[in-house]
Amino acid sequence: MTSPGSLEGTEAEVAACRSERDPFQWDVREDCQVRQILDRIADKWSLLVIALLDEKTLRFGELGREIDGISKRMLTVTLRNLERDGLVLRTVYPEVPPRVEYELTPLGRTLLGTTQALVNWSEEHQDEIAEARQAFEAR
């Protein structure tokens, strides 16, 4: 049985991600590793956490306060997933009261450019999207 949150996949499955019919075309298979990684990164909170961890190391509570609407539970879950995937480093300082800091790993930092591009795109095109929506509703 597959453990929860697993990213496993056989080599055959991974190889199936690039179509055999056309190596430049993309096969969107459910068991594809890329699909699974995408699903994890593109969830409700991960992108936001990664964006906030740009440059600045942040504590658990700081992240919670910066991300409007996230619960402690989901912050913990999200951070654990990112840590598990090697994107975020968690450092516990044995003090009292406890202090835990989160920062991007080198691997996590390679993702940063892409995520920021997504955020920037959203910012740049939000007006166009708002207009498209209005036009669609007025149909």
Point out which residues bind DNA (CB under 7 A): 43-45, 59-62, 69-74, 76-77, 79-80, 90, 92, 97-100
Tell me if 2 contacts its own copies by CB under 8 A.
Answer: no
Please identify, using beta-carbon distances, which residue of 15 and 99 lies nearer to DNA.
99
Nearest CA-CA partner of 109 in 65, 37, 58, 56? 56
Tell me if 71 contacts its own copies by CB under 8 A.
Answer: no
CB of 98 to its own copies, least distance (A): 19
CA distances for 57 relative to 33, 68, 90, 97, 127, angstroms: 29, 18, 10, 18, 32
Decide: 102 and 62 in contact? Cβ < 8 Å.
no
Options 12, 96, 135, 138; binder of its own copies; rule CB under 8 A: 135
Residue ranges in 75-94 that form contacts with its own copies under rule CB under 8 A: 83-87
Q: Decide which of DNA, its own copies, none touches 47; Cβ closer than 5 to 8 Å per partner kind.
A: its own copies
CB of 7 to DNA, least distance (A): 13
From CA 50, how far away is CA 15, in angstroms rounded? 28
Instruction: Say if residue 97 is preceded by a cis peptide, omega within 30 of 0.
Output: yes
DSSP element (H, E) containing 104? strand 99-104
- The phi, psi pair for 123, rounded to 5°, reads -65, -45
Enumerate binding residues for its own copies (CB under 8 A).
3, 6-8, 14, 17, 26-35, 37-39, 41-44, 47-48, 51-52, 66-69, 83-87, 107, 110-111, 113-114, 117-119, 121-123, 125-126, 128-133, 135-137
